[in-house]
Structure 1
Amino acid sequence: MSTSTITNPVSAAAAHEISRRRTFAIISHPDAGKTTLTEKLLLYGGAIGLAGSVTSKKEQQSTSSDWMAMEKERGISVSSTVLQFEYNDCCVNLLDTPGHHDFSEDTYRVLSAVDAAVMVIDAGKGIEAQTLKLFDVCRRRGVPIFVFVNKMDRPSRPPLELLDELEKVLKLAPAPVNWPLGDGERFRGVYDREKAEVNLFERTTGGTFKAPLEVAGIEDDKVREALSDDLYETVTQEVELLDGLTEPLEIDRVLAGEQMPIYFGSAMNNFGVQNMLESFLQMAPPPAGRVSDGKMVEPNTDSFSGFVFKIQANMNPRHRDRAVFIRIVSGVFERDMQVVDQRSGKKVRLANAQKLFGQDRETLDTAYAGDILALVGNYNFLIGDTLTSAPKVVYKEMPRFTPECFTYIVNKDTANIKRYRSGMEQLMKEGVAQAYHVHGSLQAVPMLGAVGPLQFEVLQARLIAEYGVETRLEHSPWSVVQWFDEHEPDPLRRDRNAPKVHLPTGSAIARDQDGQWVVLLSSKYMLGVLHDRNDHLTFRDHAYGEE
C-alpha cells in the first residue's frame, strides 16, 4: 500500500495543529455511565461550568450532550453528539454516542470518524451484550480501546474477576493503569501503578467526594488509616499479584489493538476521571489517515478531504436547518473554500461552517485533519459522501446495516401531507431508518426498516415536535431481509430466460432506497426455505457495505 495519494505537505503550523488533535468516542452498554463520564471530561476541560447528571431528569440542569426533548425526558442518549475542548495542549474532539441498542447504527457510523474509543464498563455487571457488539466494530475498524470501569462507589464485582472477564471476552491483554481501593461504601480511592501513588478520596456527609489527596505510596500511614485492616491487606496483595498477572503497558501494543489500558473509578463522583483523561491523552493516537482506492491519504497532505458520517436535522428548530457532520481526513478547512462532492461530481462552497457543542454553535473559520466539521444549511449531502479538493479521492467508510424490524409510518391528517413529506425526507437523510418499496403494496408510503423499534418512536416524536405532524405505526409481517447478489438479474423482469425466483409463503420482493432488489421474509426459518428453493441464485445479508 502506498503511504499517500498526495505528496505535498501542509505548513509546519498546520502540522502542529493536526498533531494536537485527539478524536475519540465513548461507547458502552445503556446505563453504564457513558454520558455522565462525558460530562465530567468536559468539566475538567473547562468546557462547562456544571456537569449535568442524566439521572436528574426532573431538574432544569441537563447534560450538554443530550439535547433532544426525548433524550431529556427519558434520560438516555439517542443521538451522537460532537463536543470539542482543550486540555493540556491537546484539542480534544469527543463524540458521545447512543448506548441504546436501537441506535447502534448511529454509533457504528461515529466509530468510522474516530481514532480511539473509551469503553465504559459497569463494575457491578461487567461486559454486557451491547458492549461486546460495539467492541467487535472497534476491532473490525482497528480502533484502539481504552477501558473505564465505572461505578466503583457502588457494590462491584471483584476487580481481579473483572480483569479476567475483560481478557477472556475481548481477547486483549489487560494493562491496569490504576487499581481500586475497595468498592461500594468501602471505596477509598485508586492506586496509580505507574506513579506508585495512592489517590485517596474522602466522602462528605452529602455522599459526594472531596478532591483527591495524593499520597507518596501504598505503605504510607495515611493509606493505612483510610483503609480497614482487611481491605488494606486485600489491596496490597492484589497490587503485588498484578505484576505477575499482567504485562507492562506498551503504547505500541495499545495502538495496534493488542493491549487495553484499564482505569477504575466513578464518573458520578469524579473518582479517577482526571487521571484517566490525562493518561488517555498521552497514549491516544493523533489523527489517522483513511484509505482511498487502496492508497492511504495521510492527514498532513495539503489537499482537503473528508467524509460525511452524520446528518442531523432541526438542531435549531426555528431555522429548520440541517447539520452535516464531516470527519476531516486531510489538510486544512477554510471557510468559503470550494470542494467537490464526489457522489454528484458537483463543486460546493462550504460557507456556513460551525463548531457545535451539543446544541450550541459558533462560526468556524479554520479546522484541521482530525476535527469534526459541522456544515449548517441546506447542503444536499448524504451520509458517506466524500468532499475533497483533490481529484480521485473517495472514501468508503460507511457501513450498511441489516434492519431487524419493519413498519410503515402513516400520516394521520392529509391536510399535513406537505409537512409530512418534508419531515420524512429530512429525517430519512439522517440515516435513522432505511426505506423499502414493496412490489405490489397498496401503501402510498415506503416501508421503513431499522435496527430497533425505538427508532420508529423517535421518528414519530420528531415529526410531531419538529414538523407538527401526527402519525401512526402500521407494522409489517416481515422481520428478515435478504439482498439479491448484485450480479443477479432483475427478479421481476419478464425475460423468459431469466432465472425464476421461488418465494416462500408470506414473503415479498422489494427495492431498497438505493434501488437494489431484496426479499422480505416473515422469520429466520423462512431464510433457509428461500435458500433451499433458490440454490441457483446468490443472496447476501448485506450487513456491511464493504463486504
Structure 2
Amino acid sequence: MSTQTTNTIRNVGIVAHVDAGKTTTTEHMLFESGRIRSLGRVDAGTAQTDWLDVERERGISVRAASTAFRWKDCTINLIDTPGHVDFSSEVERSLRILDGAILIVSAVEGVQAHTETLWNAMRSLGIPTLIFINKMDRIGASAERVMGEIRKYLSADIAVIQRFTGEEADFHAVDRLWYRQEGGALTRGEQSRQEDYDALWEKLAEHDEQLLDDFVNGRLVPDDELYDRLIALTAQSQLFPVMFGAASKGIGIPELMDAIVELLPPPAGRKDDPLSGIVFRLERDKVMGKIALIRLFGGTVRNRDVVRNSTLGVDEKVTQIRKIHAGQHEDVGMLEAGDIAGVCGLSQVRIGDIIGSGEGIAPGHRLTEPLLTVQVLPANGAEYPQLVAALQELAEEDPLLDLQWHQNERELHIKIMGPIQLEVLTHVLHSRFGLHPVFGQPTVIYKETPSREGIGFVAYTMPKPCWAILKFHIEPGERGSGLVYSSMVKPEKLLPSYQNEVARRVPEALQQGLNNWEVTDLKVTLIEGEHHVWHTHPLDFVLATPMGIMDGLARTGTALLEPYIRFRLTAPEEANGKIMHELTLMRAIFDYPVITGERFMVEGTVPVASSLEFPVKLSTLTGGRGTFAARFDGYRECPPGTEAVRPRRGVNPLDTSKYILSMRNALGSQRS
C-alpha cells in the first residue's frame, strides 16, 4: 500500500432507486475481480455487502457498505449505498467522499423519483457519473424508453459508449465502442458501427469547439483523441457515459469495471500534502470500540500517530488502521491520501468531523430530511437506561435521528424518514441491544416561520450578579433559506467573546417557537448589545439569548409550515376519476394526467400529513397496479386555521421569572 499512488485508486459509489440492482452489481464486481470466490444473492440474504442481520432478512441495504477490490492494476474503493429513501442519510454522507459514481437505472422501471433526487445531489457536488442501465434481460426492458427518460428527467448530456444485443429474454451481450489493450492502444469493438462513433463525436463536439469545427468540416479525428476528450468531459461532469447490462447474469459487469478505471478520475490529493480527511461513517467493534471510516484527501496517517480533530478541536491517538470489507477487518497500519480506511482510537469522533485541514473537502448536501417524529418507550422501567444508551449510540451513527432525551419527563423522541426505517430500528434494537421498545404513532414534523418583521429585546440585569442586554431584528426569509444570522454590534459595545456566545445560542433558541416547533426561514440580526465590566459573565448570554429571541417571535407571530412531497403516480386509466378525487381531497397540486395506452401518469406535490396512508389506498383502488413514487419537496405554509401544537420541552423563556430561576439553577455549577 505504501508504494501505491493515487492514480491507481478510484473511490466510487453505486447509487440508485431501491431494487434497481446496486448490491447485485457490487456482488458481481467482487466476483469478477476475484475478491470473492462465490456469488451471493440479495433475495437469499447471502450478498457480501448486505452483512447486517436485518439486511439479510429483509433483502434490502440499510447502511452504506464499503469494500475494495483490484482491477487492471487499480484499487477500487466501492461504496454500495442504500436505495430506499428511508435511508437517504447513508447516501448523503457517502457522496462527500466520492471521486466518481455509478448511477444504476432499471431498464424496466426507468427513472424514478429517488433517482432524480440522487442525480441532483451528484450534480450539485460535481461528481463524475457513469450511467448503467441494468436489468436489460427483464420483461418490459426498453433501453430507448429509459434513455428518453434520462434525457428528460436527468440530463441530455449522455453519451452511449456501448452496443448491446437484444432486449428482455433476447439480451445476451454488450460490446464497447473501444477496448484498451495492455500497451494502451485502442481497439474498436467487434459489433460497433461507424454511426456509433459519429453519434459520440457529435455529442462530444457540443462541448468542444475544436471537435465541433472538425465535425462540421468533415476532418477525421483519430480514435485516441475522441477517447481522450470523452475521459476529460466525463471527469468534468459535462458528459455522462451510458452503459448497459444484466447484473444478475454478470452481463456488462467487466465492461463497467473497465470504465471505472479508464473514465472516472483518480483522487487529487498527495501523501505529502497537509493532513486532510473526513469521517463519513462510524462502526463498532467489540474489542476496538468505535471505528471511524475516514476518506483521506491529503497526507498520511500511521498507527500511533496523534491526529487533530479540527471540528472538535481535540487531538487523539490512532491505535489501529483497518481496511473493511463486508464487516470483515484487515489491519493495514497506514492510510494515505486518496484512500479510505477504518481508524481506531478516536473515541470522541463524530460523523462529519474534519481530520486535519478541511481544505478541498466537498460540502455536505442534504438529500432529504426526516419528516416524522416518534416517541420511543421502553418495554418496562428496567430497560429505560439501556434504551437511552442504545439510542444515543444509534444517533451517533446516524445523526439525522436527532435523539431528543427529555430527562425530567423521561421521554425519548427520534426523527425518522418513514415506516421501513422504523421497522429496521425495531429489529436493530432487539438484535444488537436485546431491547423490545414500543414506538408511538409517528407524527408529521411541522416548522414555524415569522409572520412579519419585529424586534426582540431582553435586559437581563436582575437578580444580581448578571448583566446582558440584547436587541434582535427578526424578519421572514425566503422559503428553504433556514436561519441567516448576523451582528451589527461593535466590539466596544459587546465583546467578541460575548457576541460569539450569542451566535452559538440563537440556533438553539429557535428549536422551539410559539407552537414549540423549530423556527426556520428567517433572518436574525443583533442590532444592539451591552455588557457590564463587573457584573457580566458569558453564561448570562446563554440565558438571555432565548429570552430575546422568544420576545421577538411573540411580536412577529409565527406561521406554521408543513412538509410537501413531489410525486409521480401511474395507474390504470379506468381508475383515473377516483384517483383524481383522492388527490383533490389530499390538497394535492398536480398537472393534467398524461394517458399512454391503458395507463395514465400524473405529477404534482402533496402535503405529507394528508398523504401518509395514500400508497395503501392507491393499491386498493388499482388492485395493486398503481405506483406512487415520491421525494421531499420542501416546506410550505399551512392553510389558515391549521393547528399543530406540541408540548413544550423545558420552561418557556416568555415566562421570564420561572425561566430565569430554572436556568440559573441549571447553570449554577458552571458559573464562577
Name the TM-score, length of structure 2 as normaliser: 0.62
* Higher-helix-fraction structure: 2
| TM-fit CA distance, 1:460 | 2.1
| Closer/same/farther in 2, CA of residues 416 and 264 from structure 1, 3 Å limit | same
Equivalent residue number for residue 653 of structure 2: none
Question: Which residue of 376, 389, 400 maps to 1:422?
Answer: 389
Equivalent residue number for residue 382 of structure 1: 350
Equivalent residue number for residue 627 of structure 2: none
Alignment of 1:390-469 (within 5 A): 397-399=363-365, 402-431=369-398, 433-435=400-402, 437=404, 443-469=409-435
Distance in 1, matches of 2:180 and 2:72, equals 22
Contact 1:405 1:453 (8 Å CA) reproduced: no
| Closer/same/farther in 2, CA of residues 182 and 70 from structure 1, 3 Å limit | same
| TM-fit CA distance, 1:267 | 0.8
Amino acid aligned to 1:194? W
Question: Which residue of 238, 255, 276 maps to 1:305?
Answer: 276
| TM-fit CA distance, 1:103 | 0.5
SS state of the match for residue 402, structure 2?
strand
| TM-fit CA distance, 1:187 | 1.6
Superposed CA offset, 1:250-269 (max 9, x none): 11111111111111111111
The answer as to 2:469 corresponding to 1:498 is: no
Alignment of 1:253-292 (within 5 A): 253-288=233-268
Question: Which residue of 485, 488, 494 maps to 1:487?
Answer: 485
Contact 2:133 2:143 (8 Å CA) reproduced: no
Question: Which residue of 352, 363, 369 maps to 2:337?
Answer: 369
The answer as to 2:106 corresponding to 1:122 is: yes
Alignment of 1:172-187 (within 5 A): 172-187=156-171
Equivalent residue number for residue 332 of structure 1: 300
Amino acid aligned to 2:128? P
Distance in 2, matches of 1:372 and 1:474, equals 39
| Closer/same/farther in 2, CA of residues 426 and 304 from structure 1, 3 Å limit | same
Superposed CA offset, 1:134-181 (max 9, x none): 111100110011011111122344323332322232224221121211
The answer as to 2:28 corresponding to 1:48 is: no
Alignment of 1:52-91 (within 5 A): 52-57=40-45, 62-91=46-75
Equivalent residue number for residue 322 of structure 1: 290
Distance in 2, matches of 1:494 and 1:530, equals 27
Amino acid aligned to 1:287? P
| TM-fit CA distance, 1:301 | 4.0
SS state of the match for residue 70, structure 2?
strand
| Closer/same/farther in 2, CA of residues 530 and 195 from structure 1, 3 Å limit | farther
Distance in 1, matches of 2:98 and 2:21, equals 20
Over the residues paired in the alignment, what is the CA RMSD in angstroms? Answer: 3.4
Distance in 2, matches of 1:184 and 1:237, equals 26
Equivalent residue number for residue 19 of structure 1: 7
Amino acid aligned to 1:343? T
SS state of the match for residue 76, structure 1?
coil
| TM-fit CA distance, 1:522 | 6.8
Amino acid aligned to 2:98? V
| Closer/same/farther in 2, CA of residues 320 and 415 from structure 1, 3 Å limit | farther
SS state of the match for residue 92, structure 1?
strand
| TM-fit CA distance, 1:435 | 2.5
Distance in 1, matches of 2:374 and 2:303, equals 41
SS state of the match for residue 349, structure 2?
coil
The answer as to 2:97 corresponding to 1:113 is: yes
Distance in 1, matches of 2:203 and 2:360, equals 42
| Closer/same/farther in 2, CA of residues 22 and 446 from structure 1, 3 Å limit | same
Distance in 2, matches of 1:529 and 1:444, equals 35
Pair member with larger Rg: 2
Q: List runs of 5+ in structure 2 lacking aligned partners.
A: 182-186, 205-225, 450-481, 487-505, 514-545, 563-607, 611-634, 643-672
The answer as to 2:190 corresponding to 1:217 is: yes
Distance in 1, matches of 2:384 and 2:82, equals 31
| Closer/same/farther in 2, CA of residues 106 and 529 from structure 1, 3 Å limit | farther
| Closer/same/farther in 2, CA of residues 475 and 312 from structure 1, 3 Å limit | farther
Amino acid aligned to 2:483? D
Percent identity of equivalent pairs: 24
Superposed CA offset, 1:246-304 (max 9, x none): 5466111111111111111111111111011112211111113xxxxxxxxx4454322
Distance in 1, matches of 2:288 and 2:336, equals 28
| TM-fit CA distance, 1:361 | 0.6
SS state of the match for residue 247, structure 2?
coil
Contact 1:432 1:450 (8 Å CA) reproduced: no
Superposed CA offset, 1:315-338 (max 9, x none): x5x559333211111012211111
Contact 2:291 2:342 (8 Å CA) reproduced: yes
Amino acid aligned to 2:552? A
Contact 2:132 2:245 (8 Å CA) reproduced: yes
Superposed CA offset, 1:343-364 (max 9, x none): 2222111112211101111112
SS state of the match for residue 487, structure 1?
strand
Distance in 2, matches of 1:360 and 1:183, equals 38
Q: List runs of 5+ in structure 1 lacking aligned partners.
A: 1-12, 198-213, 220-235, 289-297, 508-520, 532-547
SS state of the match for residue 475, structure 1?
coil
The answer as to 2:147 corresponding to 1:163 is: yes
Superposed CA offset, 1:208-250 (max 9, x none): xxxxxx997349xxxxxxxxxxxxxxxx798598568754661
Contact 1:311 1:430 (8 Å CA) reproduced: yes
